[in-house]
């Protein structure tokens, strides 16, 4: 995620990092070269008696803009829901530890329970980013727990089970009543809801056929556009064509980024920073003095 301070409108026009322009610059350059070729071929083009007007492109452009807007809304809804789910995870983690500490004030092993909570957040993060988990989880889990978790189909779900078993042991010892046990396990249910919601977004992209037809239409539109503009604009064709193509291609590219909100691209969610904040909050609630360094945006204003 790009985290920038407020800027004046003029320097913002020239911002490079965080925009989709680095991704599409080669495509815009190809459109510019195509437009130059079309301008040079104008005498031969007109001699054929074929005149492609701007009228059909105006109609098609409006239709593409409407469908691109719908797709971007759908992709942003996925992004927004993903951020909401991780916000709910932070709430559930804090509430779970608060209830455990207040109902088990004499418990000596709460630090291990905190490590399980942090391990859950990191496990979910790495699952959504398709990263190996062994090295990171080894910092928070025992060797036996780590082996069981890594063998599970859903490592994060297995960690939830270990946390539930930890609570069941205290219930069997009489430290937790049935009512308190049910109240605390409700927080585990909240974390399970977050896990399922993230898995749903992760495993269910927008229908491929819908994205494909928009992608094809946008690029066909941008390829054919110079042929319609050149008759009236002549040498201004490359500049106008690139400007229009930038609008449509950038919207298409931005939708692709927002559709997968859990990645590590510039406009994806800062899952590393969220997990870091959860760990710091839980350790502070336990009264720990040695805390992880708080993550901030790097020199490129990116927060991972």
pLDDT of 172-227, one tens digit each?
Answer: 988 888 888 888 999 999 999 999 999 999 999 888 888 889 899 999 999 999 98
- pLDDT over 90 (residue 46): no
Mean pLDDT of the chain: 89
Residue with tokens 């025992």: 142
Tell me how far apart the alpha carbons of residues 24 and 1 are, in angstroms, rounded to a whole number.
19
Q: pLDDT tens for residues 122-165? A: 999 999 999 999 999 999 999 999 999 999 999 999 999 999 99
Check residue 144 and give its pLDDT: 94
Find residue 17's DSSP bridge partners.
19
Question: What's the length of the chain?
Answer: 304
C-alpha dihedral sign at 34, 37, 43, 47: negative
Triad 112, 117, 118: Cα angle to 5°: 95
The better pLDDT of the pair 44, 83 is held by 83
pTM over 0.75, yes/no:
yes
End-to-end CA distance of the chain: 6
What are the backbone angles phi and psi of residue 78, rounded to the nearest 5°?
A: -65, -45
Check residue 203 and give its pLDDT: 93
% of the chain residues with pLDDT over 90: 56
What are the backbone angles phi and psi of residue 5, rounded to the nearest 5°?
A: -70, 165
- pLDDT over 90 (residue 81): yes
Q: pLDDT tens for residues 251-265? A: 999 898 889 999 888
Among 260, 264, 286, which Cα is nearest to 203's?
260
Tell me how far apart the alpha carbons of residues 215 and 217 are, in angstroms, rounded to a whole number.
6
% of the chain residues with pLDDT over 70: 99
Q: Report, as an integer, the average pLDDT of 286-302.
A: 82
């Amino acid at each position: 995620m790009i985290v920038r301070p407020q800027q004046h409108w003029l320097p913002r026009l020239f911002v490079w990092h965080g925009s989709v322009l680095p991704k599409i610059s080669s495509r815009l350059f190809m459109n510019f070269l195509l437009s130059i070729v079309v301008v040079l071929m104008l005498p031969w083009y007109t001699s054929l008696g074929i005149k492609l007007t701007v009228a059909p492109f105006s109609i098609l452009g409006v239709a593409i803009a409407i469908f691109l807007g719908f797709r971007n809304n759908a992709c942003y809804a996925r992004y927004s829901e993903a951020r909401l789910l991780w916000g709910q995870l932070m709430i559930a983690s804090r509430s779970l530890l608060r209830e455990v500490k207040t109902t088990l004030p004499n418990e000596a092993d709460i630090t291990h329970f905190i490590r399980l909570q942090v391990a859950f957040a990191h496990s979910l993060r790495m699952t959504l980013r398709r990263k190996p988990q062994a090295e990171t989880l080894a910092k928070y889990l025992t060797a036996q727990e780590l082996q069981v978790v890594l063998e599970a189909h859903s490592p994060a779900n297995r960690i939830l089970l270990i946390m539930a078993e930890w609570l069941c042991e205290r219930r069997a010892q009489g430290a937790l009543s049935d009512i308190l046990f049910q109240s605390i396990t409700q927080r585990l249910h909240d974390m399970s809801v977050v896990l399922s919601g993230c898995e749903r977004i992760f495993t269910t992209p927008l229908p491929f056929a819908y994205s494909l037809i928009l992608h094809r239409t946008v690029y066909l539109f941008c390829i054919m556009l110079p042929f319609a503009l050149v008759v009236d604009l002549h040498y201004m064709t490359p500049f106008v064509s690139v400007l229009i193509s930038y609008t449509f291609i950038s919207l298409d590219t931005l939708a692709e980024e927002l559709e997968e909100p859990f990645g590590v691209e510039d406009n994806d969610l800062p899952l590393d920073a969220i997990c870091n904040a959860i760990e710091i909050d839980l350790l502070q609630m336990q009264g720990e003095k040695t805390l992880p360094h708080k993550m901030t945006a790097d020199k490129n204003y990116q927060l991972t």
